[in-house]
Amino acid sequence: MTEEQRWRTAKEIFSGACELPAAGRAAYLEKACAGEAALRAEVESLLAAHTAAGEFLETPALATAAAVVAETLPDPQCGKRHGPYRIVAPIGHGGMGDVYDAVRDDGQYEQRVALKLLRLGFDAEFARRRFRVERQILAGLNHPNIARLLDGGAATDGRPYLVMERIDGVPLLDYCEQRKLDVPERLSLFLCVADAVAYAHQHLIVHRDLKPANILVTKAGEPKLLDFGIARVLEAGSDTDSNTTSLLLTPAYASPEQARGDRIGAASDVYSLGMILFELLAGERAYSVEGVAPAEAVRRITDSMPPAPSAVVRRRGDERLAKTLSGDLDNIVLMALRKEPERRYASVERLAADVKRYLDNRPVSARADTTWYRASKFLRRRRGPIAAAAAIALLLVGGAAATLWQARRAEMERARAERRFEDVKRLAAVMMFDVHDAIRDLPGATHARQLLVSASLEYLNQLSKEAGNDSSFRTELAAAYERVGDVQGNPVLPSLGDTAGAERSYRAALALRATVAGQELEKARDHFRLALCANARGNLTGALDELRLAITLDSKPSGSGATLALAADERMYAYLLGETGKIAEGLDAADLSTKLYERVASSPGNSARVARRLVPAAFGTLAFLKMESGDLAGAVATQQQTEALMRREEQANPGNATIEENHAEALYYLADWREKAGDLRAALGNYDEALTELDRLAELDAKDTLSRRFAAFCLAAEGEIRVRLGEARIGLGELMAAHAQFERLAAGSPGNYYVLSGLADTEERLGRVWLTLGRRGSARDSFEKSLDRWRKAEERAPLARSDALKMSRLREELASTSRP
Amino acid sequence: MGEPDHGDVTRLLEEWTKGDRDALNRLMPLVYGELRRMSSHYLRGERENHTLQSAALVHEAYLRLVGRQNVHWKNRAHFLGVAAQVIRSILVDHARARAAAKRGAGAVTLTVNELSAVTRQPEVDVIELDTALNRLAHLDPQQSRIVELRFFAGLTNEETAEVLGVSASTVKRDWTHARAWIYRALTGDAPPANAV
C-alpha cells in the first residue's frame, strides 16, 4: 500500500466510524481494518483526537486576524498637525475623543504631550461646549497628582482638541498588581489620589468619572489623575449639561445618584473613590455591571448592597488578607459606598483622614451600617426606577426628593414627610408626562420614550400596591396609567405602537378607578380607549362591548362634556356596527352622533369649539355607513359635505396637524368612493390632494406612522387608477412604492390591522393591475398573497364585514386568473 | 487608503485563475490592505454591531475590491481562497514576530491570546498550526485548503464546497478528519510508529 492509499483508507474508515454511535465503533473497526493493527491504531488515535477536539478550530480566526491587523495599522491621524502639535501615535480611544501621543515641535521647544481630539459623529455643539468647559476647568487646576492642561484649540476640520501633560504610567490597578503592593502601600497610593480629588473639590470641581483606568502611576510611584473631561464647576450654572453627560459615564464606578441621573456633588466622587478603594483592597469590584442591561445596571448600583471587601477576599480563600480588611477597612469602604450621599463621608478629606487614621493605628470614624437605615431602604427604592430612566424628570423632581430626605431625618416630622411623599408622587407623575411630551418630537427620542414608559410602569405598579383606599391617590395613579397607555399604544395618537401594553395600562387605570365613586366620564374614557385598542387589533366584538359600557357611563351625567363624550362613543359605535354588518343600527348611531355634535356645537361654552371640529367627522361616519348600505351616491354626497367642512376647519386653524390629518383622511375616503363609483379622474384629484397633505405631515414628524400609512393607501389607489387610465409604468411604480411603505410600517408595528389591510389591499390592487397588463402569473401570485394575509387575520379574529367581502372578491379574482 | 481599482482586482483574479502565480503576489497586498482597512473599522467599533462576523467581513472585502457589478461566482470563490491565505499569513507573521519579541526584551502590548479572550477564540498556537497544515498539505492538499477556508476565512461548509468545487458533505467529512488529525498533531499525541 502506498502512503497515499494508506491515508485514504484510514480516512474512509475514520469517516465511517464518526457516523456511528460510540458503542458500535469497535465492531465496525474490527471488520473494516480486517486485522491490520497499525491501521486500526491510526484510526482509533484519530477518533480519540476527534472526541477530545471539542470546539477546536470551530471559531474562525478572522476576528483575531482583524485585531492583529488593526494593531499594526497606522492611525490616519499619525503625522497630522494641529496647531503647533504633531501627532505621533494613538494612545487610546475614549468615549468622546481619541487620545494621541503628540509632540510640540514648532521650533520653540520640543515637548511630548497627550492630545485629545474629539471624535466626529457626536453632537458637535454639545461636545464643543463640553470641551470648552473641560478646558476652563483644567486650566484652573494645578496639582502634582492631576495631569495638567497645556493648551487647546480647534483642528482644521473644526474638531476641538485639548493638549495635556503626557503621563508615562501604568493604570492604578495594574501598577499595584505588577509591584505586588501590600495593603499599606496601596492605601498610600489611594491617599495621593484622594488628595488630588480633594484639591479639585476645593476648587469646586467634581471629577464625576473617577476610575482606576483614569489614574496612571508613574515610574516614580506618583499617581496622576487624567480626564477631568466631565468635571463641572459646581457653582457655574451649567446644570443643563450634567444630565446628558451622566449617560456617557462608565457605569461600573458611578454613584447611585449618578446612575439615576440625579443632581450630583462631591459625594459622588466619594462613592467612586470607595469603589476604587474596594477594588484596590479586594482585587475585584464591589459589584459587576458589565454586560447587563442598562436598567439592571442602574438597579444594581442603586439597590444592591455591596459586600464587605473582607467577605469577597475570604470567599476566594485568602484568609490572611480577609483578616487585615475586616473591621476598620471594611467599614471605611462601606461608608464611602453608602447609597445615600448624605450618609457617606461628608468629604473626600474625611475619607482620607479615616484611611490615615487606620494607617496610624488610630480608631477610625467609620462604623458598620445600622439596621435602621437598611429598613428605611424602601423610600429610596420607590424613587429608584423612574429616576433611573428619566434623568430629566428626576432633575425636576429632585428638589422635592431632597426635602424628603431631610424630612426623614427627623422622625418627629414623619407625618409631614408622608405628606411630602404624596407631593413627590404626584409631582413625579405629572413631570413624567410633561417630560414625555417635551421629548416626544425630538429626533431619536423613541428609545428614551420606551425607557420612560417601562420606568414609569415599574414605578406605578409599585405605587399601586400601596395605594390602599386613598381615592385621590388612586385617581392620580389611574390618570398616570392612562397617560402611559396613550404613549405605549393609543391607536389614534402618535404612540410607540404597543397596543397590548396600552390595554394593560388602561385596565390598570380602570381597576384603580373601580373603587372610587363617580368618575363616570373618566371610566367611560378608559372603555373608549380599550375599544380603540380592540379595534386596532381587529377584535370588533370586543370593541363594541367596550363601547356599550362607555355609552352607559356617558349617558348618566349631564352637561356638554358628557354629551360630547357620548357623541364620540356613538360615532365609533356606528362605525363598528357598519364594520360588523349591522348597517341599519349603525346608520341610527351615526345619525345620533351628528345630532349630538351639532347640539354641542351650537351651545355656548368651550365644548362648542371641540364639537365644531368633530361635526365633519360625524358626517364622515354617516357617509361611511351610507356606503356600507350600498348607497354609493349618498355616501359620496355626504362625504363631499364632510370634506368641505373639514377644509373650512383647516383654513380656520392653519398649521394644526390633527385637522390636516382629518382632512387628508376625508379626502382619501372621498377619493376611494369616487373610484368605486367609477369617477376615476375626480378620485385621482382627491388622492393627489390627500397625498400632498400627508407628505407634509409625515415630513414634519419622522415617527408619524399614521400619515405614512394613509399616504401608502393613497399611493396604492393612485397607482391602480393610473394603470387603468393607461399610465401603466407610473402606476406600477406607485403601487410598488406603496407596498414597500406598508412593509416598512409592518416591520415597525407587527400585527397592526391597518398596516396588514394596507398590504393586502395593495397586493389585491397589484393583482388587478397585473391582470390588466396581461400578466396572469403575477396576478395570481399577488391575489394569493393578499388572500393569505386575510386568512391569517381571520384566524386571529373575525374580520370586519368590508374585509370579509374583500376575501370573497379575492377568491373570484383569483379564479378569474385561470380562466382564458 | 483610496478606493481600490475594481478592474485591476478582477483582472488579477482572472490571471491568477489562469495559473499566473505572479498575479497572486500582486493580489495579496491589495487584499491585505482591504482587510486591514476593514478590521480597523471593526475594532474601533465603528460598525453597528461589534461582533466580527468573519465571513461577512471577507465577503464585504470582496465586494469592495471587485465592485458590485463584477461579482462573478468564480472570481468570488478565488477571492475567498486568496483571502484565506492572506489571513493565514497575517496570523503566522504576527505570531512569529511575537515569538521573536518574547525572546528579546520588551513587553508586547497586545497579544493574540489576549485577544482570544475577547473574541472567544479557543487558544491555538498559530505557528504550530501552520506547520501542521503544511504537513497536511503534503498528505491531503484538499484537506489543508478546507482548513484554511473554514478556519482562516470563516467560510461555512457550503461556501467552502463552492470554492473548492466539491460537495458540502465531502467538505464536512474532510473537515472532521482534518480537525482530528491537526488536533492530534498539536497536542503531541504522536501517531503510532508504523502508521502513515
**What does the pLDDT look like over A73-120, one tens digit per residue?**
556 677 788 888 888 877 766 555 678 888 887 766 678 888 877 654
Mean pLDDT is lowest, of A51-60, B73-82, B142-151, for B73-82
Residue B114 pLDDT class (50, 70, 90 cuts): very low
Check residues A75 and B155 and name the one with the higher pLDDT: B155
Give the cell for residue A518.
Answer: 363617580
- Torsion sign (Cα): A445, A447, A450, A455: negative
Co-location of B101 and B188 in the same domain: no
Taking alpha carbons only, the member of A100, A103, A107 closest to residue A75 is A100
Last residue of a domain, one of A135, A166, A197: A166
Give the cell for residue A362.
Answer: 488610630
Strand A215-218 with A223-225, pairing: antiparallel
Co-location of A159 and A173 in the same domain: no
Tell me if chain B has a CB within 8 Å of the CB of A64: yes
Q: In whole angstroms, what separates CA A639 from the centre of its chain? A: 41
Co-location of B105 and B58 in the same domain: yes
Co-location of B14 and B98 in the same domain: yes
Last residue of a domain, one of A542, A562, A582: A562
Tell me if chain B has a CB within 8 Å of the CB of A740: no
d(CA B193, CA A248): 62
Contact between residue B65 and residue B6 where contact means Cβ atoms under 8 Å apart = yes
Q: What is the pLDDT of residue A76?
A: 63
Query: Residue A583: which residues within 8 A CB-CB, separation 6 or more?
Result: A577, A625, A628, A629
Co-location of B72 and B107 in the same domain: yes
Q: Which residues of B touch A68 (CB under 8 A)?
A: 90-91, 94, 112, 115
Tell me if chain B has a CB within 8 Å of the CB of A22: no
Contact between residue A367 and residue A404 where contact means Cβ atoms under 8 Å apart = no
Last residue of a domain, one of B106, B121, B136: B121
Contact A65 B139 (CB under 8 A): no
Q: Which residues of A touch B32 (CB under 8 A)?
A: 69
Q: What is the pLDDT of residue A256?
A: 86
Domain membership of residue B145 as a residue range? 124-196
- Tell me how far CA of residue B42 lies from CA of B39, B66, B93, in angstroms: 5, 20, 21
Query: Which residue in B28, B119, B150, B174 has the most chain A C-beta atoms within 10 A of its own C-beta, making it the best mutation to test that interface?
Result: B119
Co-location of B31 and B114 in the same domain: yes
Phi and psi at residue A39, in whole multiples of 5°? -60, -45
How close does chain A come to B74, measured CA to CA in Å? 22
Contact B180 A67 (CB under 8 A): no
How close does chain B come to A613, measured CA to CA in Å? 46
How close does chain A come to B70, measured CA to CA in Å? 25
CATH number at residue A123: 3.30.200.20
Residue A456 lies in a domain: yes
Q: What is the ipTM of this complex?
A: 0.74
Co-location of A511 and A481 in the same domain: yes
Give the three-state DSSP class for A440: helix
Give the cell for residue A714.
Answer: 393613497
Residue A61 lies in a domain: no
Contact between residue A218 and residue A241 where contact means Cβ atoms under 8 Å apart = no
* Angle made by CA atoms B36, B37, B38, in degrees to the nearest 5: 90
Q: What is the pLDDT of residue A4?
A: 81
Q: Which residues of A touch B184 (CB under 8 A)?
A: 45-46, 48-49
Contact between residue A66 and residue B43 where contact means Cβ atoms under 8 Å apart = yes
Co-location of A197 and A334 in the same domain: yes
Last residue of a domain, one of A141, A166, A191: A166
Q: In whole angstroms, what separates CA B194 from the centre of its chain? A: 33
d(CA A551, CA A525): 10
How close does chain B come to A52, measured CA to CA in Å? 8
d(CA A65, CA A79): 26
Co-location of A468 and A493 in the same domain: yes
Co-location of A207 and A250 in the same domain: yes
Q: In whole angstroms, what separates CA A197 from the centre of its chain? A: 35
A85: enclosing H helix or E strand: strand A85-93
- Nearest chain B residue to A59, by CA: B121
- Tell me how far CA of residue A288 lies from CA of A27, A293, A295, A302, A373, in angstroms: 53, 12, 14, 13, 24
Total domains, chain A: 4
Residues of chain A with pLDDT under 70: 1, 62-76, 92-97, 107-109, 118-139, 157-158, 204, 228-251, 290-295, 368-449, 451-452, 455, 459, 466-467, 493-494, 701-704, 820
Taking alpha carbons only, the member of A642, A696, A648 closest to residue A673 is A642
Strand A215-218 with A169-171, pairing: antiparallel
Residues 201-230 of A with CB under 8 A from B: none
Contact between residue A258 and residue A391 where contact means Cβ atoms under 8 Å apart = no
Contact A65 B126 (CB under 8 A): no
DSSP conformation letters of A661-701 = HHHHHHHHHHHHHHHHTT-HHHHHHHHHHHHHHHHHHHHH-
Co-location of B113 and B30 in the same domain: yes
d(CA A167, CA A196): 16
Co-location of A288 and A402 in the same domain: no
Contact between residue B9 and residue B65 where contact means Cβ atoms under 8 Å apart = yes
Q: How many CB pairs under 8 A join A and B?
A: 157
Q: What is the pLDDT of residue A292?
A: 64
How close does chain B come to A119, measured CA to CA in Å? 11
Q: What is the pLDDT of residue A721?
A: 93
List B27's β-bridge partners, or say none: none
Q: How many CA atoms lie within 13 A of A580 on its CB side?
A: 19
Contact between residue A211 and residue A272 where contact means Cβ atoms under 8 Å apart = yes
Taking alpha carbons only, the member of A256, A249, A306 closest to residue A281 is A306
Strands (E), B112-178: none
Co-location of A276 and A288 in the same domain: yes
Co-location of A156 and A190 in the same domain: no
Co-location of B170 and B79 in the same domain: no
Co-location of B177 and B102 in the same domain: no
DSSP conformation letters of A594-642 = HHHHHHHHTSSSHHHHHHHHHHHHHHHHHHHHHHHTT-HHHHHHHHHHH
Give the cell for residue A717.
Answer: 389607489
Co-location of B62 and B74 in the same domain: yes
Q: What is the pLDDT of residue A274?
A: 96
DSSP conformation letters of A272-298 = HHHHHHHHHHHSS-SS--TTS-HHHHH
Strands (E), A132-285: 149-154, 160-165, 169-171, 205-206, 215-218, 223-225, 232-233
Q: Which residues of B touch A120 (CB under 8 A)?
A: none
Q: What is the pLDDT of residue A136?
A: 64
Co-location of A30 and A176 in the same domain: no
d(CA A281, CA A276): 9
Co-location of A226 and A142 in the same domain: no
* Angle made by CA atoms A241, A244, A250, in degrees to the nearest 5: 120
Co-location of A133 and A247 in the same domain: no
Contact B183 A60 (CB under 8 A): no
Q: Cell 396581461: give the residue.
A: A774
Exposure letters A430-449 (e unless 16+ CB within 10 A, then b): bbbbebbeebbeeeebbebb
d(CA B161, CA B164): 5
Contact A63 B40 (CB under 8 A): no
Exposure letters A305-322 (e unless 16+ CB within 10 A, then b): ebbbbbebbbeeebeebb
Q: What is the pLDDT of residue A649?
A: 84
Contact B140 A49 (CB under 8 A): no
Q: Which residues of B touch A65 (CB under 8 A)?
A: 35, 39, 87, 90-91, 152
Total domains, chain B: 2
pTM: 0.40
Co-location of B158 and B81 in the same domain: no
> What letter would DSSP give residue B149?
I
Last residue of a domain, one of B105, B121, B137: B121
Residue A735 lies in a domain: no
- Nearest chain A residue to B118, by CA: A64
How close does chain B come to A20, measured CA to CA in Å? 13
Contact B39 A65 (CB under 8 A): yes
Co-location of B111 and B138 in the same domain: no
Query: Residue A41: which residues within 8 A CB-CB, separation 6 or more?
Result: B192, B195
Q: Which residue from B121, B179, B182 is facing A61, i.e. has the nearest CB?
A: B121
List A117's β-bridge partners, or say none: A98, A161
d(CA A548, CA A702): 36
Q: Which residue from B52, B180, B194 is facing A53, i.e. has the nearest CB?
A: B180
List of long-range contacts for A732-735, beta carbons under 8 Å, 24+ apart: A732/A769, A735/A762, A735/A765, A735/A766, A735/A769
How close does chain B come to A48, measured CA to CA in Å? 8
Query: Which residue in A14, A36, A68 has the most chain B C-beta atoms within 10 A of its own C-beta, making it the best mutation to test that interface?
Result: A68
d(CA B98, CA A458): 53
Taking alpha carbons only, the member of A813, A812, A794 closest to residue A804 is A794
Last residue of a domain, one of B74, B93, B121: B121
CATH number at residue A191: 1.10.510.10
- Nearest chain B residue to A51, by CA: B180
- Tell me how far CA of residue B133 lies from CA of A652, B142, B166, B167, in angstroms: 81, 11, 20, 22
Contact between residue A571 and residue A622 where contact means Cβ atoms under 8 Å apart = no
d(CA B91, CA B133): 14
Domain membership of residue A285 as a residue range? 169-369
Contact between residue A247 and residue A294 where contact means Cβ atoms under 8 Å apart = no
Co-location of A233 and A307 in the same domain: yes
Contact A49 B180 (CB under 8 A): yes
Q: Which residues of B touch A16 (CB under 8 A)?
A: none
Tell me if chain B has a CB within 8 Å of the CB of A42: yes
Co-location of B115 and B136 in the same domain: no
Query: Which residue in B183, B186, B187, B194 has the most chain A C-beta atoms within 10 A of its own C-beta, making it the best mutation to test that interface?
Result: B183
Taking alpha carbons only, the member of A601, A518, A535 closest to residue A564 is A601
CATH number at residue B141: 1.10.10.10
Q: What is the pLDDT of residue A483?
A: 80
